[in-house]
């Protein structure tokens, strides 16, 4: 609810009892923004009040409208459409709002700290392959949600858990040992994460060949998958790793270091960061210890093969494996350990896990298990579930090497931005280094905006060509609007006074932009409440459309002879530019001053 709606509700709570001579329940006062096809700014839904007035909706609305006009100087007119009372807010209110906020560098952000501590986990890659398109949505979403929560006054910690152990890691290690010929990032010219990913794909290729041979010998498929020599060796390597075998650990350390060096470069290009990193190779130990502590507790049990499980039937779920029969841990084990370690360190009220929706069940179970272990803070666990990213060419598969690599895609976006920008021919006098930074900001801005403008819960189709269009609901379209505003301000000496500006001189085009700016604090609140950067993205697009309409129909911004009116309109340009920059910043997108 924005401040204007709150203000009206407060007035109605005083005025309505006077009109109807009885108390009004707050739930009967329903305010909404007036629909665009009607005149007005705020609409009171009258139907709930007719039981009290004992009159028709139209009569009730007119009676309330007359009373509001007589008592509130900031309501200047009203109209009634069936059971809806549409109220027109005065120009004075809008001008006062604008005067109070146009110099506020933190406009829209919470003025006070909420006192709430929150943690956002995102990225959380495996160290057996480079980051891909799906990771881009994860990282952009996690980073943006964290920044939006900060803007709402919360204390936020950005973290990731690096999945640096497990059978999938051993697959890459084993394939490199067998087929790598001591290849390194330096000798191959490949980023470390790309090199390790190459051997994850190689393992799958060789593993399938072994399965095929076993099938030809008459073995059943499921048995062949389990008894393929490569898989048995990988499982043996995992057992050695957990036992602390020096050779296996040294190889693991070497290959993971290659991957971390590669990840670091990718994150820098993405423009995302973290306050703390956690490693599964550390956290699984505490998870394993906790599971062993509870193996004889209610609902926990150990099978004859030594594996440890939890019975979740009272929650209408199935039984969940917590430790394998060979003593090695599973994902749930390390997530238990990670959650406990984090809470001991930060004691947050909320823990948000930004993970794809295929893990909905996993995080539901994680919270239940922690609560069964007596950790009531697990009520604060929230899975920020998002839909998968598809491409026009189809689904991606890591082990088959058909993923869209994050590094390659970001480079492609930057190159496309360079081609389009040079075609427009406005950058010839810009230094090469500045051009390179601009192409990066346009390319990454297009990529981030296209992904973040979609509701996180929805599965999405990513189209690189559509995302970098300089028209429509795209990042470059918004970035260009910001650059245009900076050009206007540079050419017209913004910063003059409009304290004595006559309200009558303000036109409807001006007011529409002011009204859209007025929504920004509420938009930030809604984006935080819904954990949805899409709320910010689509608001900024609507603001830019409103500003462009104003700009195209108000040539007087430049030619206006009334000094105060011109100063007001330049100030309107300035606050609009600041809100565009602020909102896009919450999405992790830089806006250039020139394009």
Number of Cβ within a 10 Å radius of residue 519: 18
CA distance 148 to 533: 8
Q: Residue 402 has what pLDDT?
A: 53
State the first-to-last Cα distance of the chain, in angstroms, to the nearest integer: 36
With tokens 């009220």, the residue in question is 349
pTM of the predicted model as reported, rounded to 2 decimal places: 0.92
How many whole angstroms separate alpha carbon 517 and alpha carbon 515?
5
Encode pLDDT of 243-302 as tens digits: 999 999 999 999 999 999 999 999 999 999 999 999 999 999 999 999 999 999 999 999
* Residue-level pLDDT at 359: 93
Which of 7, 8, 80, 5 lies closest to 50, judged by CA? 80
Question: What local confidence, expressed as pLDDT, does residue 27 receive?
Answer: 87
Query: Nearest-CA neighbor of 354 among 136, 137, 142?
Result: 142
* Letter string b/e over residues 193-218, b meaning 16 or more CB atoms within 10 A of that residue's CB: bbbbbbbbbbbbebbeebbeebeeee
Instruction: Give the chain's domains with CATH numbers.
Output: 3-89 (3.30.1360.70), 122-390 (3.40.50.620), 418-586 (1.10.730.10)
> What span, in angstroms and rounded, lies between the C-alpha atoms of 162 and 126?
6
3-state secondary structure of 50: helix
According to DSSP, the β-strands at 75-81 and 84-89 are antiparallel
What average pLDDT values come out for the chain (595 residues) when binned by 10 residues? Answer: 89 94 90 93 96 94 96 96 96 94 94 97 95 94 98 98 94 97 97 96 96 96 96 95 95 98 97 97 94 95 96 94 90 96 97 95 96 96 92 53 81 92 83 94 96 94 85 94 94 81 91 96 97 98 96 75 90 96 98 93
Phi, psi of 269 (to 5 degrees): -65, -40
Whole-number pLDDT of residue 20? 92
């Amino acid at each position: 609810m924005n401040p204007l709606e709150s203000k009206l509700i407060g007035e109605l709570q005083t005025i309505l009892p006077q009109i109807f001579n009885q108390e009004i329940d707050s739930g009967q006062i329903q305010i909404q923004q007036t629909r665009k096809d009607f005149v007005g700014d705020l609409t009171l839904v009258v139907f709930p009040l007719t039981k009290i007035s004992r009159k028709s909706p139209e009569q009730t609305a007119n009676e309330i409208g007359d009373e509001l006009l007589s008592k509130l100087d900031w309501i200047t007119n009203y109209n009634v459409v069936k059971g809806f009372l549409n109220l027109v807010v005065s120009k004075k209110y809008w001008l006062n709002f604008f005067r109070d906020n146009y110099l506020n560098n933190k406009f829209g952000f919470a003025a006070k700290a909420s006192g709430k501590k929150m943690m956002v986990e995102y990225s959380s890659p495996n160290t057996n392959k480079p980051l891909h398109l799906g990771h881009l949505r994860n990282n952009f979403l996690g980073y943006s949600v964290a920044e939006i929560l900060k803007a709402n006054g919360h204390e936020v910690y950005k973290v990731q858990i690096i999945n640096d152990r497990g059978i999938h890691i051993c697959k890459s290690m084993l394939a490199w040992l067998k087929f790598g010929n001591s290849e390194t990032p330096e000798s191959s010219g490949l980023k470390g994460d790309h090199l390790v990913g190459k051997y994850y794909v190689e393992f799958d290729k060789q593993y399938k060949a072994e399965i095929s041979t076993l099938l030809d010998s008459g073995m059943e498929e499921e048995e062949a998958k389990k008894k393929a020599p490569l898989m048995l060796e990988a499982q043996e390597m995992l057992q050695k790793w957990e036992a602390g075998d020096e050779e296996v650990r040294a190889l693991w350390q070497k290959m993971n270091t290659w991957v971390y060096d590669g990840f670091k470069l990718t994150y820098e290009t993405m423009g995302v960061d973290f306050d703390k990193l956690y490693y599964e190779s550390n956290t699984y130990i505490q998870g394993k210890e906790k599971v062993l502590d509870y193996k004889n507790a209610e609902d926990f049990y150990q099978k004859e093969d030594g594996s440890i499980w939890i019975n979740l039937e009272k929650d209408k779920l199935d039984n969940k494996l917590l430790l394998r029969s060979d003593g090695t841990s599973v994902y749930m084990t390390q997530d238990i350990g990670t959650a406990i370690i984090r809470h001991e360190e930060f004691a947050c009220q909320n823990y948000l896990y930004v993970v794809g929706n295929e893990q909905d069940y996993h995080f539901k179970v994680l919270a239940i298990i922690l609560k069964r272990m007596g950790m009531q803070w697990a009520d604060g666990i929230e899975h920020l579930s998002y839909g998968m990213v598809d491409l026009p060419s189809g689904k991606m598969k890591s082990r088959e090497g058909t993923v869209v690599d994050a590094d390659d895609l970001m480079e492609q976006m930057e190159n496309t931005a360079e081609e389009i920008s040079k075609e427009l021919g406005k950058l010839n006098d810009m230094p090469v280094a500045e051009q390179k930074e601009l192409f990066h900001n346009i390319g990454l801005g297009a990529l981030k905006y296209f992904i973040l403008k979609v509701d996180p819960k929805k599965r999405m189709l990513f189209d690189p060509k559509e995302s970098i269009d300089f028209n429509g609901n795209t990042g470059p379209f918004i970035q260009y609007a910001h650059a245009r505003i900076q050009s206007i301000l540079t050419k017209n000496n913004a910063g003059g006074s409009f304290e004595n500006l006559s309200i009558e001189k303000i036109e409807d085009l001006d007011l529409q932009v002011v009204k859209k700016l007025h929504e920004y604090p509420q938009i930030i609140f809604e984006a935080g409440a819904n954990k949805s950067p899409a709320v910010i993205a689509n608001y900024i697009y609507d603001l830019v459309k409103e500003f462009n309409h104003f700009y195209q129909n108000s040539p007087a911004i430049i030619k206006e002879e009334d000094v105060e009116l011109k100063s007001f309109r330049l100030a309107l340009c300035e606050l609009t530019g600041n809100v565009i920059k602020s909102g896009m910043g919450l999405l992790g997108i830089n806006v250039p001053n020139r394009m």
